[in-house]
Structure 1
Amino acid sequence: MTGFFKNISRLSYDPDSTDLGFRHYNPDEIVAGKRMEEHLRFAVAYWHSFAWPGGDPFGAETFDRPWFGNTMDLAKLKADVAFEMFELLGVPFFCWHDADIRPEGDTFAESLRNFKEIIDYFGEKMATSNTKLLWGTANLFSHRRFMSGAATNPDPEIFAWSAATVKNCMDATHKLEGQNYVLWGGREGYETLLNTDLKRERQQAGRFLQMAVEYKHKIGFKGAILVEPKPQEPSKHQYDFDVATVYSFLKDFDLEGEVQVNVEQGHAILAGHSFEHELALAASLGIFGSIDMNRNDYQSGWDTDQFPNNVPEVALAYYEVLKAGGFTTGGTNFDAKLRRQSLDPVDLIAGHAGAMDVCARGFKAAVAMQEDGTLEAMRAERYADWDSGYGKALLTSDFATIAEQVVSCGTTPQPRSGRQEILENIVNRFV
């Protein structure tokens, strides 16, 4: 044991507890025919939990972690602390970027040696742990070399560096039996058209994703390839702005049957949508994969990556996940970080524990709404006229025929209430 989480015991479910622990999340509780742990599939994000130093645009780091530094010994200490936290929380999964887990070398080859060594170390840790890998990904945005993008960079050498990085991250994800591989295009966008060949960059991004899919099949990786929609930051115009944009991109490059999406709550808000909108759209398009569960500060207009604390919002999100059939390879990753004033080890545990409780409450509310059936019955009633007779025939007709029917009918259709307030009241019964 590292001693970082000293005096903190493994968290357990106790609905009456007033101490650190779970009041709502019981991993063994059977909900909708499965253990809650199997439904929610919680994952800890390595980067925000163990690599983020507590800085913001106006101030340097506030966290003082004993593993901060650029050596292999410190990277292994960080892994030791991480797996201790996974054990304390009882989470079934974790996620990483390559830059979070290994020291940066002076050359690509040195960074790769460091990466492979820490992946082997992860393998040893996982052999004695119940925590598995939900997904791996490459950090193609933090280093200055990616200031103009990775796949979309005007410099072919950066494209090549990025492709080699993703190849090695996919190898590592496959080796650790990860269930997904994520491509997160943090810099895949532009700030001004004055120096941007938009068509060329989009073609580069499409070919890059095709290569990732080709490599998945070459190595026999059975997990899902996920793209994470990301709007507005850090580039002003992102090629993967939201679910709809990603889907059109996949269609253009014949990838809609190969790639799914990892949808983040904070990104949905920045794109001007609700989280449940993005989830419902992904499901309707057949590309729903996984989620990052966090929230933004709605006053800041920035991707603040806070732990979820709004049960009604979470319930509506999980309602759409349930309607999509639930997770298969995906799960609930906490892409969330502490506030920079939350310095202590217990804060890291408490942030995750509280988020897991909020998700459990929201999920059980979503299950109850689904089992009640009122929402779906009212939705079906609203569209019932499309299922038979005149409505069903309309979609196989043509404008001229429809126009003749409208003229000969002689009646004027009247609008019908959408009953939004009634529907919201129904939701409030459960949350």
Structure 2
Amino acid sequence: MKPIVRFAPSPTGKLHVGNVRTALINWLFVRGEGGTFILRIDDTDVGRSTKAYEDGLKEDLKWLGLNWDESFNQSDRFDRYDAAADKLREQGRIYPCYETSEELDRQRKILRSQGKPPIYNRDGLNLSEAQIAAYEAEGRTPHWRFKLSGKAVVWDDVVRGRQSIETGSISDPVLIRADGSYLYTLPSVVDDIDAKITHIIRGEDHVTNSGAQIEIFEALGGPVPGFAHTPLLVGKDGKGLSKRLGSLSMDQLREQGIEPLAICSLLGKIGTSDPIEARQSLEQLKDEFAFSKIGRAPARFDEAELDLLNSRLLHDMSFEVVEARLKALDIPASEDFWHLVRANLGKFEDVVGWSAVLHTSMSGQIADEDKEFCARAADLLPATLNADTWSTWTGALKEATGRKGKSLFLPLRMALTGRGRGPEMDKLLPLLGADHAKARLKGEAG
């Protein structure tokens, strides 16, 4: 049976590196197995969910190359959740509770003060009809909890190995709020059953939830999927990323000039046994993916490492990949130009500056003490330039002026490009052309 997985973001904010790592792992696994990748929009929180966020996260996934096979919105499926809730009521597996949030907080504080775990005391199971009538006379409406078995729930996690959750040590989860809206748990299980999800792949912060969810799967008569809980993403200092996720959203990284494959290369390799290197395609990442490579330590996300991968990706990028992008920037798209400048790019947009150096009229930078030297260089520059010109020309200049090393080469680079560092001059000079070069060496626009 081919695997079926789902990525289930909520359209209440922007897609960030933490979300994307989960989506990427799901995608790499299922594409490698020839299965189905489902995008589920978890928009049951109708007050906070927006179409703009939904459109944004879809755009981000497309930009990253993480295409999906099917998609649906939870907000279109409330009838299915209502039917599941009715089924659980008939089984006696969910029960009404009338405590307010303040009363529940007070319960937890008392238990903690007694050195006990803050587990719900199940008072809702023992309410008499008179007590229920009294609560409802006060205007209270119940929230509904799922009655856990109190037994151990055991599964073989694809990443973490054998897992066991003692359901007697956790609170019966609230499935339905007092206002009738659903929390994440029940709709997620119903959807996973209906979509025939075979593997739930998500962060290890959901391990305890999985124990409760497995019992809900069983109560609803659905097959229990396999689980893979991956270590969480942290900063390079080992601390959480929650305060910085806004600056690590996909639209922010895109605006900063980060390539989608740089993001996928980093997120696909951190926390694994593979070296962190830029990959030129998602296909390569897919072929290299294996759950067995994922370690147990948190995956450390380092923005400096992302910048480095971005540069390396550009340095190896073929002309065929960038030709259309160069044309979109009105840059004369030639393979020689791209191969000349790509090793000097940190971000793709840096190519605009190098195009200006080669394709627009500009004056070079010549220090006063170098003016005579540069004028002499202009006189010695041949009219026809090729790959050997730089070597023979600078050799002749060395003989004529006695300059060598940095005092020979740097003034020429500054006069010709206006920059102290850049592409190899033996390759740049023929592309620049003799007329432009001579003009710049004389301090003129060329």
TM-score range, shorter chain: under 0.3
Output the TM-score relative to the length of structure 1: 0.23
More helix by share: 2
Bigger radius of gyration: 2
